[in-house]
Amino acid sequence: MNLAARAPVVVLVSGSGTLLQALLDATDDPAYPVEVVAVGADRDGIAGLERARSRGIATFVVPLRAHPDRAAWDAALADAIAAHGPALVVSAGFLKILGPEVLGRFPVVNTHPALLPSFPGAHAVRDALAYGVTVTGCTLHEVDAGVDTGPIIAQRAVEVLPEDTEESLHERIKTVERALLVEELPRLLGRRDVGAPTGD
C-alpha cells in the first residue's frame, strides 16, 4: 500500500507504550493501512514517547498541571491532536479521562483489559480475579464521556487459570489486547461512521 493512502492515527500514552509498540511494529508492513503520525502524552519522560521518538514520529506533551483547569487542558490537548490531522485517536494506556473538546472533535477508541461492561475502571484484572470469573479478556471500544462505557467494537476472551495472579493474567490479556488493536484498527477505519476530525 502507498504510504500516502494510510489512515493517519494519533496515539495517546501515559506509560511504557507496549500497545503503541504493537501498532508501530504493524506499520513496518507496507500493506498495513494505518500510519501513526504522532504520539501524545500527559507527561514527559515516559517510554511510550521514546518509542515514538526513536522512529522519528512527532510527539507532544500536554500536562494537566500546566493548565488552570480540566477544560483548558482538554482544549489544549484537542489543539495538539488537531495539528496532526488524524482520522482516529487511539487511547493506548492513556490514564486521563478525555473531555468534551477532544471527544467532540475526534473519534477516539480505547482498549480495556476486561470484557466490558464487566469490570470497568482502573483495576479490571484484579476485580475479575476477585469475582472468580473463569473467563475474562479485553475490549476495544469507542470512548465517550464515561469511564469504559462507550460502544463496544470488538472483544477477545482470555481464560483465567487456577494459578493466575493479577500480574500473570494481565500479561496474557495484554498479549491478546495488542493483537486485537492491530487487527481491528484497519476494519474500524474502513467504516463510514469513522472519519476525519469533525471540527477545527
The pLDDT profile of the chain, 200 residues, written as one tens digit per residue, is: 445 589 999 999 999 999 999 999 999 999 999 999 999 999 999 999 999 999 999 999 999 999 999 999 999 999 999 999 999 999 999 999 999 999 999 999 999 999 999 999 999 999 999 999 999 999 999 999 999 999 999 999 999 999 999 999 999 999 999 999 999 999 999 864 554 444 44
pTM, two decimals, is 0.92
Instruction: For residue 96, say whether it is annotated as part of any ligand binding site.
Output: yes
Which of 60, 77, 106 terminates a domain? The answer is 106
Instruction: For residue 180, say whether it is annotated as part of any ligand binding site.
Output: no
Please count the other Cβ atoms lying within 10 Å of the Cβ belonging to residue 177: 25
Any domain includes 2? no
Please count the other Cβ atoms lying within 10 Å of the Cβ belonging to residue 69: 8
> Domain check: are 78 and 117 in the same one?
no
> Domain check: are 98 and 166 in the same one?
no
d(CA 75, CA 61): 13
Which of 106, 141, 156 terminates a domain? The answer is 106
Instruction: For residue 174, say whether it is annotated as part of any ligand binding site.
Output: no
Selected catalytic residue, list 112, 123, 141, 170: 112
Any domain includes 91? yes
CB-based burial of residue 109 (10 Å sphere; 0-12 exposed, 13-18 middle, 19+ buried)? buried
Question: What is the DSSP secondary-structure string of 93-130?
Answer: S--SPP-HHHHHHS-EEEEESS-TTSS-STTHHHHHHH
Q: How many domains are there within the chain?
A: 2
Which of 52, 76, 106 terminates a domain? The answer is 106
Strand order in the sheet with 58-61: 58-61, 34-41, 7-13, 88-91, 108-112, 135-142, 152-159
123 flagged as catalytic: no
Instruction: For residue 178, say whether it is annotated as part of any ligand binding site.
Output: no
Phi, psi of 22 (to 5 degrees): -60, -40
pLDDT at 196: 41
d(CA 172, CA 193): 32
Which grid cell sits at 85? 490531522
Instruction: For residue 70, say whether it is annotated as part of any ligand binding site.
Output: yes
> Domain check: are 33 and 86 in the same one?
yes
> Domain check: are 190 and 148 in the same one?
yes
Instruction: For residue 77, say whether it is annotated as part of any ligand binding site.
Output: no
pLDDT at 190: 84
> Domain check: are 96 and 116 in the same one?
no
> Domain check: are 25 and 100 in the same one?
yes
Helix (H) or strand (E) holding 59: strand 58-61
pLDDT at 5: 83
Domain with 118, as residue range(s), is: 111-195
pLDDT at 191: 65
First to last CA, the chain: 29
> Domain check: are 138 and 81 in the same one?
no
